[in-house]
Amino acid sequence: MKIYHNPRCSKSRQTLALIEEAGIQPEVIKYLDNIPSKEELLDLLMKLNLKPADILRKGEKAYKEIIKGKTFGKEELIQIMIENPKLIERPIVVKGNKAVLGRPPENVLKLL
């Protein structure tokens, strides 16, 4: 199991705690330090069964400055997320070929 984690985010910390309470020590990927590649993001989106726009943090300053009110294709949004990883919704938890967004943190229970 992997968690794309931001330790400064309360939802991310709560999700990690739920996983650990289940007796699992996941691989913790601090995605702001270890930015996912294009291939990783495409893989995550496939496992989440979501589109790039579905995992954008719309409250972020970068969203308002770069994306809001404009139209981008899938590839362009992925590139924007790589260049601005704070835009990637968190946490994302992966187990095998499935993934969930930890918003709310209880979503992770589907993978446990």
What is the total count of domains within the chain?
Answer: 1
Range of the domain at 72: 2-111
**Coil vs helix vs strand at 74:** helix
The encoded tokens of residue 38 equal 């294009």
Read off the CATH number of the domain in which 90 is found.
3.40.30.10
Sequence-separated (6 or more) residues with CB below 8 Å from residue 38: 78, 79, 82
Record the pTM.
Answer: 0.94
Q: DSSP per residue over 11-30, as a string?
A: HHHHHHHHHHHTT--PEEEE
**Which residues are catalytically annotated?**
9
Give CB contacts under 8 A, 24+ apart, made by 5-11: 5/29, 5/30, 5/31, 5/90, 5/91, 6/30, 6/31, 6/32, 6/90, 6/91, 9/90, 9/91, 11/90, 11/91, 11/102, 11/103, 11/104, 11/105
pLDDT tens-digit profile of 77-87? 999 999 999 99
What pLDDT digit, counting tens, does each position of 42-99 carry? 999 999 999 999 999 999 999 999 999 999 999 999 999 999 999 999 999 999 999 9
